[in-house]
């Protein structure tokens, strides 16, 4: 189907056919959901051994009684040493630069933004004292990142994503013209939602930004999918090494968690940063908590006693996820491979497929799908303030539903894309 070269008659005929088809689908009263990047039950099941793994022995290898406040090796606030080692393995950084937190890396990111906003990192001016503090937001991106900025009144500047990461020319230009830019959100591997992994050049240029940016500038490196490869392991160039080479180590804050490794929302989150940044973070967190849940940290350390066990565990996830991604991608390819109806990346890991409709169609697609019983992430959700300027991007999350449901949902999705595209074209003809 090629809309731009179709005649009005052809379009009208398509609209009629597609509408009829759509009406039939609506009568099926489907109730399907591909909105959320949630692991499926069989994925979660792989980690059910966590409960009970301690077998009555709550003492960590370093002697810390995880059942009590405090502990050895930094004790409370940094988290358990063996949990920090796990985080260090995932993020490929030294253990002493890692803090193991509670169940959510989003929470660690929130507190990192709060630290910058209220108190300033490493002796820099608190962002709230700047006239107009702003984050750069590669789009499409992760809505929860944007919500943090929105809540604190931190401005957001859209930057387009490319196949190698965010558009670095645009980023450097923004920073040069506006010293109010004090941060950037990055999901560097299997980016949410595009699935792109940043290239070596992108990582190096990001690491160099602190040389031209406000001294308080920080890169929020949300490595949520660090070990979430579907096939062979994709190598994300290290931002730590690049920042050390460029003498900009203080500009980087890295995050990861086991949320899509073990049980979603019941795992362990990590932040890695320079000594100066960690000191600022700990100062903020000291007023808020005695420390994270060390018992659960110990469970995770025991469950992944060696990094090879973690890698094998992630392969099991991949085996479950692969047919789902294949289903989405093959349906898209056969429906739109030879069309002018949409574009998408082919991610090699992560949790999403990002689909761009023709301009001005995404909202209509989501609405049509909803009316046919297929719930999609709201159009615009992948942009700051929920506003997709071109109304194009839709995030597809294949992980949660069983394969047959996903297959049905994708058929409905494709029909809705076709219908909305034809109607839009007729409208503007």
> What span, in angstroms and rounded, lies between the C-alpha atoms of 56 and 65?
12
Q: Which region among 67-75, 178-186, 188-196, 374-382 touches a copy of itself (by CB under 8 A)?
A: 67-75
Least CB distance to a copy of itself at residue 165 (A): 25
Choose between 228 and 294: whose C-beta lies nearer to a copy of itself: 294
User: What x/- string results for residues 77 through 116 when contact with a copy of itself is judged by CB under 8 A?
Assistant: -------------------------xxx-xx--xx--x--
Looking at the Cβ atoms of 274 and 296, the one nearer to a copy of itself is 296
Smallest gap from Cβ 347 to a copy of itself, in A, equals: 20
Nearest residue (CB) to a copy of itself, 22 versus 255: 255
Residues contacting a copy of itself: total by CB under 8 A: 55
Within residues 174-213, the interface with a copy of itself by CB under 8 A covers: none
Give just the sign of the alpha carbon dihedral 261, 262, 266, 270: negative
Q: Does 67 bind a copy of itself (CB under 8 A)?
A: yes
Q: Which is nearest to 257 in space by CA: 299, 304, 224, 219?
A: 224
Does position 73 interact with a copy of itself (CB under 8 A)? The reply is: no
The residue among 144 and 311 lying less far from a copy of itself, judged by its C-beta, is 144
String of contacts with a copy of itself for each residue 25-64, x by CB under 8 A = -----------x-xx-x--x--xx-xxxxxxx-x------
Binding mask 149-178 for a copy of itself (x = CB under 8 A): -xxx--------------------------
3-state DSSP of the chain: CCCCCCCHHHHHHHHHHHHHHHHHHHCCCCCEECCCCCCCHHHHHCCHHHCCCCCCCCECCCCCECCCCCCCCCHHHHCCHHHHHHHHHHHCCCHHHEEECCCCHHHHHHHHHHHHHHHCCCCCCCHHHCCCCEEEEEECCCHHHHHHHHHHCCEEEEEEEEECEECHHHHHHHHHHCCCEEEEEECCCCCCCCCCCCCHHHHHHHHCHHHCCCCCCEEEEECCCCCCECCCCCCCCCHHHHHHHCCCHHHEEEEEECCCCCCCCCCCEEEEECHHHHHHHHHHHHCCCCCCCHHHHHHHHHHCCCHHHHHHHHHHHHHHHHHHHHHHHHHHHHHHCCCCCEEECCCCECCCEEEEECCCCHHHHHHHHHHCCEECCCCCCCCHHHCCCCCCEEEECCCCCCHHHHHHHHHHHHHHHHHHHHHHHHHHC
Quote the least distance from Cβ 219 to a copy of itself, whole Å.
20
Of the two residues 26 and 44, which places its CB atom closer to a copy of itself in the complex?
Answer: 44
Applying CB under 8 A, does 395 fall inside the site for a copy of itself? no
At closest approach, how far in Å is the CB of 61 from a copy of itself? 17
Contact 112, 281 (CB under 8 A): yes
Q: Which tokens is 338 given? A: 């030879």
Tell which residue, 282, 266, 306, 293, has the closest CA to residue 71.
Answer: 293
Site string (292-321) toward a copy of itself, x via CB under 8 A: xxxxx--x----------------------
Gap between the Cα atoms of 417 and 359, Å rounded: 12
CB nearer to a copy of itself: give 40 or 171: 40
Could you tell me the smallest distance in angstroms from the CB atom of residue 136 to a copy of itself? Answer: 19
Which C-beta is closer to a copy of itself: that of 109 or that of 341?
A: 109
- Nearer Cβ to a copy of itself (364/396): 396
Nearest distance, CB of residue 256 and a copy of itself, angstroms: 16
291 binds a copy of itself (CB under 8 A): yes
| CB of residue 64 to a copy of itself, shortest distance in Å | 11
One residue of 16, 17, 28, 69 binding a copy of itself per CB under 8 A: 69
Choices 81-89, 202-210, 287-295, 352-360; region in contact with a copy of itself by CB under 8 A:
287-295
State yes or no: residue 130 binds a copy of itself (CB under 8 A). no
* Contact characters 262-281, a copy of itself, x per CB under 8 A: -xxxx---------------
**Rounded distance between C-alpha atoms, residue 403 and residue 417, angstroms:** 21
Does the bond joining 193 to the residue before it have cis omega, within 30 degrees of 0?
yes
Binding site for a copy of itself (CB under 8 A): 36, 38-39, 41, 44, 47-48, 50-56, 58, 65-70, 76, 102-104, 106-107, 110-111, 114, 118-119, 144, 147-148, 150-152, 263-266, 284, 286-296, 299
């Amino acid at each position: 189907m090629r809309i731009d070269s179709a005649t009005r008659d052809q379009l009208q005929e398509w609209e009629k056919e597609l509408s009829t088809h759509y009406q039939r689908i609506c009568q099926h009263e489907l109730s399907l959901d591909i909105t959320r990047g949630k692991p499926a039950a069989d994925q979660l099941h792989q980690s059910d051994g966590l409960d009970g793994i301690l077998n009555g022995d709550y003492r960590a290898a370093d002697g810390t009684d995880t059942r009590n406040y405090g502990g050895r090796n930094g004790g409370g606030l940094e988290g358990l040493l063996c949990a920090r080692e796990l985080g260090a393995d995932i993020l490929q950084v030294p253990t002493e630069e890692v803090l193991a937190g509670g169940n959510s890396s989003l929470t660690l990111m929130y507190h990192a933004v709060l630290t910058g906003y209220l108190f300033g990192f490493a002796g820099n001016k608190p962002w709230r004292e700047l006239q107009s503090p702003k984050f750069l937001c590669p789009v499409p991106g992760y809505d929860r990142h944007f919500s943090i900025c929105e809540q604190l009144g931190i401005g957001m500047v859209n930057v387009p994503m490319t196949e190698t990461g965010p558009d670095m020319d645009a980023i450097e230009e923004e920073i040069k013209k506006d010293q109010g830019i004090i941060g950037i959100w990055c999901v560097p591997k299997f980016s949410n939602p595009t699935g792109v992994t940043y290239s070596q050049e992108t990582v190096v240029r990001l690491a160099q930004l602190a040389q031209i940016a406000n001294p308080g500038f920080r890169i929020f490196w949300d490595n949520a999918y660090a070990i979430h490869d579907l096939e062979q392991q994709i190598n994300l160039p290290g931002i730590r090494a690049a920042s050390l080479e460029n003498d900009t180590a203080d500009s980087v804050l890295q995050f990861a968690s086991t949320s899509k490794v073990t049980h979603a929302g019941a795992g362990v989150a990590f932040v890695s940063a320079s000594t100066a940044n960690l000191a600022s973070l700990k100062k903020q967190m000291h007023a808020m908590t005695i420390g994270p849940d060390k018992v659960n940290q110990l469970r995770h350390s025991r469950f992944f006693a060696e990094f090879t066990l973690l890698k094998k565990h992630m392969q099991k996830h991949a085996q479950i996820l692969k047919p789902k991604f294949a289903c989405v991608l093959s349906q898209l390819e056969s429906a739109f491979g030879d069309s002018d109806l949409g574009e998408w990346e082919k991610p090699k890991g992560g949790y999403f497929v990002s689909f761009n409709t023709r301009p001005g169609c995404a909202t209509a697609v989501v609405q049509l799908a909803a009316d046919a019983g297929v719930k999609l992430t709201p159009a615009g959700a992948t942009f700051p303030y929920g506003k997709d300027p071109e109304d194009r991007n839709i995030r597809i999350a294949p992980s949660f539903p069983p394969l047959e449901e996903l297959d049905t949902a994708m058929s409905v999705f494709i029909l809705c894309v076709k219908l909305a595209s034809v109607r839009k074209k007729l409208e503007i003809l």
